Structure 1
Amino acid sequence: MPKKMKRRTFLKSTIGTVLTVLGLGSGGYFYANRIEPSLLEINNIDIKHSLIPSSFTGVKIVQFSDTHLGFHYTLNQLEKLVNKINHLQPDLIFFTGDLLDEPNKYNEIKKIAPILQNLKATMGKYCIYGNHDHGGYGSEIYKNVMELSNFTVLLNESILIKQKDGSTISLMGIDDRMLGKPDLEHVMKQVPEDSFKLLLSHAPDIADEAQTYQIHWQLSGHSHGGQVKIPFVGALVIPPFAQNYPEGYYSIGESNPLELYVNRGIGTTRLPFRFMAKPELTVFTLLSSAN
């Protein structure tokens, strides 16, 4: 009960702050609460590297993140999202965490997997834990839902994604930084040194550590792009472990840099608003730059 009161108090005070700072009237409130959260943006990014085998050129990845089912995001909206992802015809689908806002309080758990099972990807579906997936005693709930949905849950492990000719790239997934136990050192022991290395991490800021392991690309979520941005000021709240890299593309390090992309996510949490931070699907296309 105290936790509920704390959350309610936070929402009430913060919503008041948002509306005051933005000077939102009823029209502005409606936009931030109802319109922008539904304005899904699809961003296209090329992932180009000499270690990507030529057989992977043209492989399409769709990343989605942070649905936060149960907090102003419904199963009906999830169904529509699945249809949009399938329309993009991905070869690989990556979910980078925070499926449910409060897993142990969600009353329609059994309805999620039949929806996510409809996601189609010719080379597989993979996911990692976010902080909300662990929160509320949700770790096993999330794992069960995603495995029933035909996703492979990567928890501090690496796999090889293979083409028919035997060529491979390495896909790594680590645990959440806030409530889990990420272990990059353990993961890297499983990875062939000469392979292209792609890391899934819910928390973007782990990129500073990942760069020291000569990982080539990292895909993250968690920040919601700030979710609510104040003009000329920036994001109202950026969560821990997304402070350094809150949104979009970054190149980290001078020698053999790590390329990082931070997806703004789909749903909302804490605040039932998005303002200057549209929800996002990211479509990555693999390209070999080998001569």
Structure 2
Amino acid sequence: MNRRTFLKKAVGSLLALLGLSSGTYYYARDIEPILLHINKNTIASKKIAKSFNNFKIVQFSDTHVGFHYSLQQLKELVQKINGLDPDLIVFTGDLVDEPQNFHWDSKIINILKQLSAYHGKFWIYGNHDHGGYGTEVVNDAMNKAGFQLLQNNHTTIEIANEEIVIAGIDDVMLGKPDLDATLVNANPNLFTILLAHEPDFADIAKKYPIDVQLSGHSHGGQIRFPLIGHLYSPAYAEKYVQGKYSLNNDKFLLFVNSGIGTTRAPFRFLCKPEIHEYSLKSLS
């Protein structure tokens, strides 16, 4: 940690300590973490085939089950997502907070299994999924729940003989991401969505035939203050922290999901948990 980063975190921690007192502390700990925001977006492109007009994708990320986020809350989240009637569901990493300490049984599998989307459910690894020796156990749970892992590979979604590409890379921090392998034999003329846990990977992804990157990891900073913004974000979420970013003269879009759960500190302040709903619009 360099001196500038250290000072920023030290000052940020002091502000957090002063700001999160009494009623504000209660709000940040017990109220805002359950105020789910549905972030609705329209993605328009000439590359989107007409068959995919109004195709709905729902993204959720960073549930961190086990750290102040319960299985009951996950169950309620599943019901909210299903209520949006998605055509496709994507999960962009960090299922549980500490895989090595989590009690793995059929409960979490049965809850995730209830998620329903006609064109499938896909997921990628986050750093917490690989951490704590969780790689295999998380994969096993997600597989049993009906999710397809995208780990340096891609698949196509087809409607009426027209297609889009859904690709996913391994986690940047603890995995072995390989974007060249991910896109091998992918048709560059097809509308392509990349799932990448860490948002700052966009600076690499934007150089490839990718139209949209969906990420999480940052938690939106988790604690934000007016004028100051977020106090802290993890490595590989330092440049792109929250919301929508247009890169390459609007030819590449990045959406950074603020996540569902919390980690390190059980607080959210001016940074509600969220799921993203994307409606595709064909301009062809």
TM range (shorter): over 0.9
Q: Could you tell me how far apart the structure 2 residues matched to 1:157 and 1:190 are?
A: 10
Question: After superposition, what is the alpha-carbon deviation per residue over 1:226-255, rounded to whole angstroms, capped at 9, x for unaligned?
Answer: 00113322212110001111000001123x
- The answer on 1:260 being equivalent to 2:254 is yes
Change (3 A) 1:15 1:70: farther
Shift of 1:20: 2.6
Which of 265, 270, 276 does residue 276 from structure 1 map onto? 270
Paired residues for 1:19-38 under 5 Å: 19-22=16-19, 24-38=20-34
Instruction: Flag the 1:21–1:190 CA change in 2: closer, same or farther, 3 A.
Output: farther
Question: Structure 1 residue 56 and structure 2 residue 49: aligned?
Answer: no
CA RMSD of aligned residues (A): 1.6
Q: Distance in 2 between matches of 1:47 and 1:258?
A: 11
In the alignment, is residue 244 of structure 1 matched against residue 232 of structure 2?
no
- Find the aligned partners of 1:226 and 1:145 in 2 and give their Cα distance: 28
2:56 is equivalent to residue 68 of structure 1 = no
TM-score (norm 1): 0.91
- Distance in 2 (CA, whole Å) between partners of 1:129 and 1:138 is 10
**Structure 2 residue ranges without an equivalent (≥5):** 1-9
How many Å apart are 1:27 and its aligned residue?
A: 1.2
Q: In the TM superposition, what is the alpha-carbon distance from 1:26 to its structure 2 partner? A: 2.2
- Contact between 1:91 and 1:123, CA under 8 Å: does it hold in 2? yes
TM-score of the superposed pair, with normalisation by structure 2? 0.93
2:14, 2:27 → 1: CA distance?
16
Name the structure 2 match of 1:8.
none
User: What is the deviation of 1:14?
Assistant: 11
Runs of 4+ displaced beyond 2 Å? 13-21
Write out aligned runs for 1:1-291 (5 A): 17=14, 19-22=16-19, 24-163=20-159, 165-254=160-249, 257-290=251-284
Q: CA deviation at 1:16?
A: 7.1
User: What residue in structure 1 maps to residue 4 of structure 2?
Assistant: none
Offset, 1:113: 0.6
Could you list the per-position Cα deviations for residues 42-92 of structure 1 after superposition, in whole angstroms to 9, with x for gaps in the alignment? 011011111111001011111000000010000000000000001100010
Partner in structure 2 of residue 10 of structure 1:
none
Of 256-265 and 166-175, deviating more is: 256-265
Q: Counterparts of 2:17 and 2:146 in 1: how far apart (Å)?
A: 45
